[in-house]
Structure 1
Amino acid sequence: MRRQSLVCIGFSLVLLLQVARSQVFEVPMTDGMQLFKGNTHTHTTMSDGDSGPEEVARWYKSQGYRFLVLSDHNVFTDPRTLAGLVDSSFLLIPGEELTSRFQKKPVHVNGLNIPGFVPPQTDSTLLGTIQKNVDVVRSVKGVPHVNHPNFGWAIDEATLLQVKNDRLLEIFNGHPTVHNHGGSGHPGMEEVWDHLLTSGMRIYGIAVDDAHHFKEEFGPSRANPGRGWIVVWASGLDADEIMRNLEAGYFYASTGVELEDVQVSSRRMEIRIRQKSNFGYRTEFIGAEGRVLLQTEENPAVFELRGGEKYVRARVKDSGGFVAWVQPVFVE
């Protein structure tokens, strides 16, 4: 009897090992692509910013951004009116922040790469309000992303779980009143993101600055530019390709950490960090429910599949407190 039990245990272990070895990453197709830094959420005097569209666009171009979306509240700024700023090094992608409400809760959804003004939508439920704004952006072939869910503690995790056809979520927003880290019984946006991913949603986390204040003081109580951005892999500076690759997760988000590359093979993820003077770096590879699978201070940081992972993403934090988020790579 004991011998039979040992045989069964051994057979089970072999099966588990075979299953683990059969799991592989869905490898991103980024070979030969370049990296383009951009921001998808900022404001001008066309809504509640303090600087005009040209001045705002010039700021980002002067800071080395390669693309920008001007996303004023319920206002569309045609990039063709700023054509003098666009060249081989800088692209303006048309956009708008569809700004609605449900009861007293703010519901803001960005529309990226849209052809013109898109009217904000309302509904009798919170979910319906979000969904209608996502859907109207899709209806004009734009790309939606749900903005700052914790702003006004407006959009909870249970509601986000029910939103359809949205692939992008702000996990970091540089505005000082959006509660990225949660509080008062509300989870932070990274925790929410992991819950959505664990539930089976394929959703990618973006960082934005949501800038309003380009003049006078730059400080923690003001919505200044340069606090959060994304870096997208693409073969060229083309709006359609950048949008496709954003929705495929071919990018990383950052508040200051720069990456040289992320290489993914069938069972291995390698992150090469661009060294900044004498800064130190800690990389955490994260799986389902936000569980840290591996922590390392090596550069490059390497993770190899062990078996049982649903997805693996990474958070790279430097010794100054800045962060880069590598998008989840799903396991099949």
Structure 2
Amino acid sequence: MKEYNGFKNCGSWYKGNIHSHTTVSDGMLTPEQSVKLYKENGYHFLCFSEHDIFTDYREQFNTENFIIVPAVESSVVLYRAKGTNERYKIHHLHGILGTQAMQDAAPLGTYKHMQYIPPMKFFGEWTGPKAAQEVADMLRDHGCVTTYNHPIWSRVTEEEFIYTEGVSSLEIYNFNTVQESNTGYDVTYWDRMLRMGRRINGFASDDNHNEGLFEDSCGGWICVQAPDLSHDSIVQNFIDGNYYSSSGPEIHDWGVRDGKVWIDTSAVNHVNFVCGNIINDGTTVLGERFKDTLSHAEYPLKGHETYVRVEAVDRYGRTAWTNPIYLEW
């Protein structure tokens, strides 16, 4: 069958967190403190995802080895009733400033630093899918790449967001909400979308607020492969899915060759090959129990898989995720 490369092999690896908060919204670290934290932990880029406030700190913080990717986390909130702060459901759609070409083509122009984007508010009931689409369209028209964040934490049902057009990636691992309430694992929704034919990437992030209740920084990230550390290179390769997500392990390379899916990783305990669309497609390759003994794994394709993605899991449960390869037979 056709040979597929999981990565473009187009440059170097750059580590980043594309979902974080500071004192500009409801985080406890200032932007300066957050930049210092991530630079000290080997990160190359960072998004400030302030709630309903677009920020652009590139001029203040960009250096040769570290850049800010401007962004905003836009909200749709369903409250129990007027006069209460009890939230039943939330859409959090993340608008990441797109490439220069996307900015130039934006019909509504780009957002400005510290621009407030009012959240949509509903009381008692909402038009969930319609509202999600309206926000996704708004972000696109302002030159942004759009992601959908933490659906399990948000208490939304799959029908309220999986049909939203224009969403590049789904947040499949959110370190903050994993620590807070074990509501940060969203791969089930990801596979639901992939199985129905939606081509969408996944990403891991921190969503850090640094409130001091638990650790929520430097626990979920993406590694983007790009020719250089510039805004357009990072964003375009994010759009293209030329990255992997992780809460620990590294993925060195992967692909499809001679009818087999293969992957090379840092030392891990087991590797999951997740496929659509027939029952019993995919497999788990197990290493030695309680030890990280695997660095290479393979899965012989059966001939009817529609997509394949791979998870590399170490003995502590920390995981690295590829984006999908869509297979043609």
Into which bin does the TM-score normalised by the smaller protein fall?
0.7 to 0.9
Q: Return the match for 1:110 from 86, 94, 110.
A: 94
Unaligned 5+ residue runs, structure 1? 1-20, 182-187
Q: Which amino acid aligns with 2:153?
A: F
Aligned length: 292
- Three-state SS of the structure 2 residue aligned to 1:71 is coil
Match of 1:94 among 70, 73, 85: 70
Aligned partner letter, 1:127? P
Q: 2:324 aligns with which of 323, 328, 331?
A: 328
How far apart are 1:193 and its partner, in Å? 0.9
Is structure 2 residue 303 aligned with structure 1 residue 302? no
Between 287-296 and 305-314, report the one with greater CA deviation.
287-296
User: 1:187-236, CA deviations, whole angstroms, 9 ceiling, x for partnerless residues?
Assistant: x621111111000001111111100017xx4xxx5362111111111111
Q: Which residue of 1 aligns with 2:43?
A: 65
Q: For 2:151, what is the secondary structure of its paired residue?
A: coil
Q: Is 1:180 matched up with 2:176? A: no
Cα 1:138–1:193 shift into 2, 3 Å: same
- 1:291-314 alpha-carbon deviations (Å, 9 max, x no partner): 561222342222343310000001
Alignment partner of 1:283 is 2:271: yes
Taking only the aligned residue pairs, the percentage that are identical comes to 29
Indicate the SS of the match to 1:287.
strand
In structure 2, give the amino acid aligned to 1:44: T
2:191 aligns to what?
Answer: 194
User: Is 1:274 paired with 2:266?
Assistant: yes
User: For residue 294 of structure 1, what is the amino acid of its counterpart?
Assistant: T
Take 2:161 and 2:309, find their aligned partners in 1: how far apart are those partners?
20
Q: Pick the structure with greater CA Rg.
A: 1
Query: Of residues 4, 12, 34 in structure 2, which corresponds to 1:34?
Result: 12
Bigger share in helix: 1
What is the aligned-residue RMSD (CA, Å)?
A: 2.3
TM-score (norm. length: structure 2): 0.81
Report the CA distance between 1:244 and its aligned residue.
2.0
| Residues 1-80 of structure 1 aligned to structure 2 (within 5 Å) | 21=1, 24=2, 27-28=5-6, 30-80=8-58
3-state SS of paired residue (2:323): strand
How far apart in 2 are the matches of 1:101 and 1:207? 23
- Please tell me the residue identity of whatever aligns with 1:145: T
Partner in structure 2 of residue 212 of structure 1? 209
Provide the C-alpha distance between the structure 2 equivalents of 1:143 and 1:118, rounded to a whole number of angstroms. Answer: 18
Provide the residue aligned with 1:235 in structure 2.
Answer: 227
